[in-house]
Amino acid sequence: MPLQNRVTPLGEVIATPERGLVYANRGCIHAARGRVSERRYPTKRWIACQLEFRGRHRRPLMAPGKFTELFFLDEATALAAGHRPCGECRYADYTHLTALWAALYPGQIGADAIDEQLDGERRDPRTKQRRFHQAPYDELPNGTFVLFDHEPHLVREAQLLRWSPAGYADRVKRPARGSATVITPPSLVALLRTDRTPLVPLLHPSAIV
């Protein structure tokens, strides 16, 4: 039986047999028998990691009192849920992120400042419920997630790709006009919009074919 440790672009933690390409954590959010409580927010440090790093293995997964091992389809999905690159196992990606961040947000230096801003963008500070944002379709960069027909879709060039746990499925034309309900936090959308090296290094192969 699959563990409840796979995360959607909306940040919801589900049980599904597919593992994904990105490993992550946001602290310990599981209780007895590996059940996840999405109302538990022990930390603002939501990070996305490599699946493999220096031969480390955690067994069993979701051990009592340990951080909850989470998995994402790819990097774009992790960013949409509000996770940023880990400063240890993905040091190069992390330093790239902080350099872009410093250029866009002068004075905000280090992981704590980044995590504080992302926390306010992904969750309402009063209700702790997920927050979405509005932006024109024609201003959204590749790698952004939007809600389209009530489902998460990835922006890729002139198309929107519907997300699923196994990969990207249906493709529809990106609207040329109008406002989108954006899932990816605004600060990360701003980073994706920069003309420097792309922030998203890893997309699921189904997004490319």
The pLDDT of residue 49 is: 92
135 token code pair: 């932006």
Overall number of domains in the chain: 1
Return the higher-pLDDT residue of 33 and 206: 206
Q: Is the pLDDT of residue 54 over 80?
A: no
Beta strands in 13-158 (DSSP E): 13-15, 22-25, 47-49, 70-72, 84-85, 133-136, 145-148, 151-156
The pLDDT of residue 48 is: 93
The pLDDT of residue 30 is: 67
pLDDT (average), residues 109-126 = 90
**Closest Cα to residue 187, out of 75, 126, 102?**
102
Burial class (CB in 10 A: 0-12, 13-18, 19+), 186: middle
The pLDDT of residue 59 is: 65
Q: Is the pLDDT of residue 171 over 80?
A: yes
**What is the spatial distance between Cα 77 and Cα 23, in angstroms, rounded to a whole number?**
11
Burial class (CB in 10 A: 0-12, 13-18, 19+), 171: middle
The pLDDT of residue 26 is: 85
The pLDDT of residue 38 is: 58
**What is the spatial distance between Cα 35 and Cα 180, in angstroms, rounded to a whole number?**
33
Confidence of residue 57 (pLDDT cuts 50, 70, 90): low
Confidence of residue 197 (pLDDT cuts 50, 70, 90): low
The pLDDT of residue 51 is: 83
Confidence of residue 4 (pLDDT cuts 50, 70, 90): confident
- DSSP 3-state of 6: strand
**Closest Cα to residue 194, out of 96, 125, 111?**
96
Average pLDDT, the chain: 88
The pLDDT of residue 129 is: 83
The pLDDT of residue 118 is: 95
Its domain, for residue 64, covers: 4-207
The pLDDT of residue 80 is: 97
pLDDT (average), residues 179-193 = 95
pLDDT (average), residues 159-187 = 96
Confidence of residue 109 (pLDDT cuts 50, 70, 90): confident
The pLDDT of residue 84 is: 94
